[in-house]
Structure 1
Amino acid sequence: MTVHQDTAVVPGIRRAVAGERDEIRRLIGEGFMADPVSGWVFPDEEHRRAAQPEFFGVYLDAALRDGWADVTDDLSAAALWLPVRAAGEGAEEDDLGDRLVRADRGNERVRIVGELTARVHPADRSHYYLPVIVTAPGRRNQGRGRALLATALDRCDREGVPAYLEASNARSKSLYERLGFVFTGTAVELPEGPPMWPMWREPRC
């Protein structure tokens, strides 16, 4: 299906396959070059460009294994989703945080952002978590991100499952709010860095 939004034509949305892993990693790495949180985690631009595909590849591998990755047909945008089970509902210990730290050994900021986001991540209800959504720099403001979100949120509504994410800039926070997400009330304050806004969306049954 092709989504029309204003004068832009958004390619169809589909589920990514494992064989597209390298291309999606490159897309995410490039797409996050100007992200304020990524700029804080990887302050050196050259290192950021080299490290991000490996770093975000950890999330991608987890999504391909345990959740799912939605992409546009032309692989110009992607969204990674992970199922999170509530504490006491058979949730298993995950080493995702350790794998992220290992992806850029010696970078203390990776550990810091992981610990701070973990503190505010809801643990009392099962939900779908969106750790990454990205659009290629030359394809932004054309409705791709909204189309990716709409596809996943339709699933949340059908299944009656909440959704959770952390907005890394004010512009994306506004988009999420228009789609039904609500700021949880406790921002993640990175030391001398940009804020992150944890956001929760109840399913619309």
Structure 2
Amino acid sequence: MGIRRVEPDDEKAVETAVRLLDEAFQDDPVSSWVFPDPARRREVHRHLMRAFLEISLAEGHADLTEDGTATALWIDVPAEPEEGDGPEEGDGEDGPAQLRAAVDPDNERVEQIGRLTGAVHPHGRAHTYLLLIAVAPDRQGRGDGAALIAPVLERCDREGLPAYLEASSARSSVLYERLGFVHLGEPLRLPDGPLMYPMWREPRG
């Protein structure tokens, strides 16, 4: 599988990544909780995905398959992040509030998702954070996602670097278990919503 980095000035790659993220997560349990009205979700969900991509480009990197069918967003988390500036929050003193203002100002759940995931995110050890991974709907179930993130996990093994993610469903958490991730504490229950599954991977070898 050919994989390349998404560069911020590569408009075509950026738009491809945003489209993949939007399509892959339109019916995801967490996205459906953040945007419960399907019509509103179709209208503004892509703006949230673009914001997440911009965060990953600023604080880590994004990978894209050469055929444009899968993308993964990574954030490099230092051992001791600055107070109030977790990986989900982006730049500034109040990232979740800024995210809400930029994406959907009247929707408090846009801000809430950042605060809730930020509260359970582990700190103290440097690690790489798989923020999101998206595979085109017609290519899902073929192992493309695992192949896309394999080079980063191999680098983690070489460098002795842990990895972290939040699975958005029990089904996806099983897939990550096959890659060496284990559940980290109790699942995160979104208010009146689905569970998210914090998962941690120690480097192998």
List per-residue Cα deviations over 1:113-150 (Å, max 9, x = no partner). Answer: 22211111001111111111011111111111111121
Aligned to 2:15: 22
Q: Which residue of 2 aligns with 1:172?
A: 172
Pair 1:73-2:72 in alignment: no
Percent identity of equivalent pairs: 49
Contact map agreement 1:13 1:147 (CA 8 A) in 2: no
Which residue is equivalent to 1:128? 128
> Normalising by the residue count of structure 2, what TM-score does the alignment of the two structures yield?
0.88
**Structure 2 residue ranges without an equivalent (≥5):** 86-90
Letter of the 2:51 partner, please give it: V
AA aligned to 1:27 is L
Which residue is 1:9 aligned to? Answer: none
TM-score (norm 1): 0.88
Mapped contact 2:164–2:199 kept (Cα < 8 A): yes
How is 1:1-205 mapped onto 2 (pairs within 5 angstroms)?
A: 2=1, 12-18=2-8, 19=10, 20-87=13-80, 93=85, 94-95=91-92, 96-102=95-101, 103-205=103-205
Local SS of the residue matching 1:197: strand
**Partner residue of 2:88?**
none
* In 1: Cα distance, 2:51 partner to 2:122 partner: 21
- Cα deviation per residue 1:36-68 (whole Å; 9 max; x = unaligned)? 110011111121122121111111112222211
Distance in 2 (alpha carbons) for counterparts of 1:111 and 1:58: 12
Contact 1:120-1:186 at 8 Å conserved across structures: no
> Structure 2: how far apart are the matches of 1:65 and 1:113?
20
Contact 1:169 1:196 in 2 (8 A): yes
Query: Greater shift after overlay, 186-195 or 12-21?
Result: 12-21
Shift in alpha-carbon separation, 1:120–1:170, aligned structure 2, 3 A: same
1:14: how far off?
2.1
Give the count of matched residue pairs.
Answer: 194
